[in-house]
Each structure stands twice: as C-alpha cells, then as structure tokens.
C-alpha cells in the first residue's frame, strides 16, 4: 500500500499525466526510491540537486523518452539537469540520433556472440545495448533459464524454500535451498547448498554486497599464482582447494569474445586458495588461484 501511495505521488511529481507519460517504469522507479529514502514531494524538490535519482528518472527529465503533453515539472527538471551538467533534449529524441547501421551491427554481434544472432536480437541491442550485453554475458555463463518459473528468476529463494522445475515432458527437478553462509570468506565468496531431488549440491558464489578490500581483484605474478590471461568471464573452475595439480593442468576456463580459453596451472603443487567463482568477470592478470 505504501508503494501504491508513493506511485500516485510520483506520478504527480513527474507531471501528473496518467496513461500517457511518464511511463509506468519511471513512475515505479521513483516511487520505490521515495519509499527507500523516506521522501515526499516537498523533500524531492528541496533536495533535487543532491539526490541520487534512478537513472530512468534523470533520462525522463532530460527528454530522452519524449516531451510530456503537459510539459516537464519545474523547477525540478532544471535542478536535476543543472546538478548533473546535462543539457535538455528539445523535440523528438530520435530526430537527433545518427543513422543506425543494422548490417554492421549484425556482423559485429555475430562475430562476438555467434551465429544465433538474428534481426530481433540486433534490434534489442540497438534499443537496449547495456541490457543486451548483460543478458548475453548471463546466458554465456548460465545457459538458457527459460524453464525457470518467472517468480523464481525475479525473486531469490529463501532458505527452506522448494520449487519444482519442469525441464521437459515427464522430467522435473525438486530444488530446495538448504543453506547459505552467513558471512563471506576472505575472497568475498559464500557457499550455497541445495537439495536437488534429495541430493546435496554445493555452489560457491561471489557476494557482490561484500565491500571489503578483498573484493578488489588481486594480481597474479608471484610464484605459484595463476592469473587470467585476458579480460573475460569465468565459466568453469575445474579444481577445489586441497587438490594436487601438475604444471599445465587445466584449472579453470575463461570465456572472452565467444572463445573459451583453458587456464593452466603455472606450477606443480596443492591448490591453496581460489579467488573466483563461475560467473565472475576478471581482467588480465587478475588472480585466479594460488598453488603452493
């Protein structure tokens, strides 16, 4: 109810133009921001030049989704744009855009992501380039998640929750979240345990909310360290702490520009520490693991 009330107030703040503009997403983003920051219309206006508004609200006020029939709310708009040194867009936003080369985009995306790129994906990239790249990176690590129930994809499971996932006719998995580490380890990782059809599974994930200095990637270079050969995404970790490895053994795999690269052990010994998890983005020479 609180968010609903704030949505009505947000719609008034942004111009009181129901069913036309601003879009429901902009109104929703501002409403949630107001609830989280305990703001009302008066506080919004008073603090307009210092508040960290959602990006969608700033884009709307700049004119990136068009000009509302009733005009922009002032002085809110001027304060927000001035504090960010942004110039307003006059007229239809698309009129000032450069021509988009769909053929070049198709070629570039195919080289980067493979032959599954079609006209629909090219258009998605043209409209939402950042979101498209995030989606493709996610898909690269986790594959298709089309079989997941929507509510499960959008809302994290709580410990004790169970969900049945139908992957094909007559084939399903009963998944239960059994536990999550309360605190991350020194490398910012947590262990998550599941029961999949009664079988215990353990997965290490990087806790993105962990803000200690250890979350800044260390660099390889010292004896026994294994580093990333180039920027990319970790798509496989083939060893665990305590495993014995020989120099040259595959210890991890990295995906970059649609190519999968095997990362070898730099020396013989025992895996002492692993600093990455599947799905982590790394730069060149970032520390992957330590062998002693």
| Tens-place pLDDT, residues 111-127 | 888 778 899 999 999 88
What CATH number is associated with residue 90? 1.10.472.90
Ramachandran class of 81: left when φ > 0, alpha when ψ lies in -120 to 50, beta otherwise? alpha
- Residue position matching structure tokens 């693991």: 289
For residue range 24-52, list pLDDT tens digits in order. Answer: 678 878 887 888 778 888 888 898 888 88
47 and 129 share one domain = no
The CATH code of the domain that includes 130 is: 1.10.10.60
- The boundaries of the domain holding residue 266 are 217-291
Residues 7 and 90 in one domain: yes
pLDDT digits (tens, 9 = 90+) for 249-290: 989 988 876 567 889 999 999 999 999 988 888 888 999 999
DSSP category for residue 99: P
* Residue 67 covered by a domain: yes
Instruction: Give the global pTM.
Output: 0.49
| DSSP result, 134-186 | HHHHHHHHH---TTS-HHHHHSPPPTT-EEEEEEETTEEEEEEEEEE-SS--T
Q: How many domains does the chain have?
A: 4
**Does residue 88 sit in the same domain as residue 6?**
yes
Show contacts of 241-246: CB within 8 Å, 24+ apart: 241/271, 241/272, 241/273, 241/274, 242/270, 242/271, 243/270, 243/271, 244/269, 244/270, 244/271, 245/269, 245/270, 245/271, 245/291
Domain boundary among 185, 206, 227: 206
């Amino acid at each position: 109810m609180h968010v609903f009330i704030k949505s009505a107030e947000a719609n008034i703040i942004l111009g009181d133009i129901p069913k036309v503009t601003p879009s429901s997403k902009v109104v929703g983003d501002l409403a949630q921001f107001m609830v989280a920051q305990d703001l009302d219309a008066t506080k919004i206006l008073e603090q307009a030049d210092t508040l960290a508004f959602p990006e969608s609200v700033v884009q709307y006020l700049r004119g990136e989704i068009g000009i509302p029939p009733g005009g922009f709310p002032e002085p809110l708009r001027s304060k927000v744009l001035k504090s960010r040194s942004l110039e307003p867009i006059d007229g239809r936003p698309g009129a000032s855009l450069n021509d988009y080369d769909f053929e070049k985009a198709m070629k570039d995306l195919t080289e980067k992501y493979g032959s599954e790129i079609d006209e629909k994906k090219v258009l998605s990239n043209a409209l939402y380039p950042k979101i498209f790249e995030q989606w493709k990176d996610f898909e690269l690590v986790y594959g298709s998640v089309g079989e997941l129930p929507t509510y499960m994809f959008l809302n994290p499971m709580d410990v004790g929750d169970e969900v049945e996932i139908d992957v094909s006719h007559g084939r399903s998995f009963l998944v239960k979240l059994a536990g999550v580490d309360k605190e991350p380890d020194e490398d910012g990782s947590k262990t998550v345990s599941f029961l999949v059809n009664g079988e215990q599974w353990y997965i290490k994930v990087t806790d993105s909310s962990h803000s200690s200095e250890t979350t800044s990637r260390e660099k390889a270079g010292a004896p026994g360290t294994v580093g990333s050969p180039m920027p990319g995404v970790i798509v496989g970790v083939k060893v665990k702490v305590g495993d014995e490895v020989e120099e040259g053994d595959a210890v991890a795999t990295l995906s970059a520009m649609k190519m999968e690269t095997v990362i070898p052990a730099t020396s013989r010994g025992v895996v002492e520490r692993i600093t990455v998890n599947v799905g982590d983005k790394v730069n060149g020479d970032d520390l992957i693991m330590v062998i002693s």
